[in-house]
């Protein structure tokens, strides 16, 4: 899942300017790129706050899995 998050940032970094560059003037392209980047950042933040914890809620963490193999302290 972490790899998918990093790849989505990479795609946004490349695709937003490419899509914004298809326009008339440089000023409108920069404005569209800034707006698209802002929207992506807000949606990404919402995904990290609400969606990502819900996806990993049922799965044990790496540390919990390591602690299961060790006997309890006495």
Q: Is the pLDDT of residue 74 over 80?
A: no
Residue extents of the structural domains in the chain? 7-46
Q: pLDDT-based confidence at 21, cuts 50/70/90? A: confident
pTM here is 0.64
Predicted local confidence at residue 42, as pLDDT: 94
Cα–Cα distances in angstroms (integers) from residue 30 to residues 20, 22, 73, in the given order: 7, 11, 60
Cβ distance 2 to 56 under 8 Å? Answer: no
Predicted local confidence at residue 13, as pLDDT: 85
Q: How far apart are CA 40 and CA 63, in angstroms?
A: 32
Q: Is the pLDDT of residue 73 over 80?
A: no
């Amino acid at each position: 899942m972490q790899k998918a998050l990093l790849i989505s940032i990479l795609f946004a970094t490349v695709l937003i300017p490419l899509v914004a560059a298809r326009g008339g003037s440089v000023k409108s392209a920069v404005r569209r790129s800034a707006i698209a980047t802002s929207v992506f950042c807000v949606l990404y933040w919402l995904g990290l706050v609400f969606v990502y914890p819900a996806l990993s809620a049922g799965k044990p963490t790496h540390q919990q899995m390591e602690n299961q193999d060790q006997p309890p302290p006495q």
